[in-house]
Amino acid sequence: MKIRALITGLTLLFPLAAAAASGSWSGDSAGGKVSVGNQTLTSRPLNTTLPPAATLSRISWGISLLSAPPPGLQIKLCSQEKCIRLDSLSGQKSVGSSLTARGPFYFVYTVESQGQLLPPLNVVKNQLTINYY
């Protein structure tokens, strides 16, 4: 009878162990400034503490600018191996295999225009939340 109770107890623990492998991570970094079009601004890296075997499922982001976004602003979120395009200054996105868990992560900004940007693109803060399993 004790063996049956032990086996039952162990089988109840396995789903908990699998669920413990999932989680989330959140971080933020300061931005930067771009005053001329067609220049690239790369944020400071966001160093994660994700498990090595983690698979990303969903990301959420928020970007704070000092002024309105200039026309032609393009934003990407990059890991060590891949980049994905972000459609807005804040949002959520399922990522699946389109972005790997290997950090650090960083935001890349470009403004498709010629000449000086008035006002300049001034990124105050980049925020990222990653859900993984």
Q: What pLDDT digit, counting tens, does each position of 22-72 carry?
A: 899 999 998 899 999 999 999 999 999 888 889 999 999 999 999 999 999
Instruction: Show me where the domains of the chain are located.
Output: 24-132
Contacts (Cβ under 8 Å, ≥6 apart) of 5: none
Average pLDDT over residues 10-26: 60
Looking at residue 10, its pLDDT comes to 43
Residue in the block written with tokens 């107890």: 9
Looking at residue 21, its pLDDT comes to 67
Give the predicted TM-score (pTM) of the model.
0.81
Average pLDDT over residues 113-131: 95
Mean model confidence pLDDT for the chain:
86
Please check whether residue 58 is in contact with residue 131, taking contact to mean a CB–CB distance below 8 angstroms.
Answer: yes
Class of the domain covering 24-132? mainly beta
Average pLDDT over residues 86-98: 93
Looking at residue 7, its pLDDT comes to 46
Average pLDDT over residues 2-16: 47
Given a cut of 50, whether residue 97 has pLDDT beyond it is: yes
Please check whether residue 129 is in contact with residue 24, taking contact to mean a CB–CB distance below 8 angstroms.
Answer: yes
